[in-house]
């Protein structure tokens, strides 16, 4: 089973990289960009066929390692 974990900064947390990307996009002429936030996507392949168990296992991975929940939110996306 394949999964994608999206890790994003919490709304209040300053994102200087997102700001720099925003600035660079504006410099390229993309003047409709209003806000950029940068995060990461982690692709994971699991030897698990039960979606509920996979989701629970991924949730624990996020809490323990993949996200720092002091500053980041995470979202789990399961394929199929």
* Phi, psi angle pair for 61, to nearest 5°: -60, -40
Pairing of strands 72-78, 39-45: unpaired
Nearer to other proteins, 52 or 65 (CB): 65
Q: How far is the CB of 14 from other proteins (least distance, A)?
A: 7
Site for other proteins in 50-69 (CB under 8 A): 64-66, 68
Cα–Cα dist 30/37, whole Å: 16
Site for other proteins in 7-36 (CB under 8 A): 13-14, 16-17, 20
Nearer to other proteins, 54 or 61 (CB): 61
Q: How far is the CB of 22 from other proteins (least distance, A)?
A: 13
- In contact, 43 and 6? CB cutoff 8 Å: no
């Amino acid at each position: 089973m394949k999964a994608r974990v999206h890790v994003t900064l919490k709304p209040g947390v300053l994102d200087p990289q997102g700001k720099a990307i925003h600035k660079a996009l504006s410099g390229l002429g993309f003047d409709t960009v209003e806000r950029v936030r940068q995060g990461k996507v982690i692709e994971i392949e699991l030897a698990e066929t039960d979606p509920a168990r996979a989701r629970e296992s991924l949730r624990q991975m996020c809490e323990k390692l993949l996200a720092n929940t002091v500053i980041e939110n995470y979202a789990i996306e399961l394929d199929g």
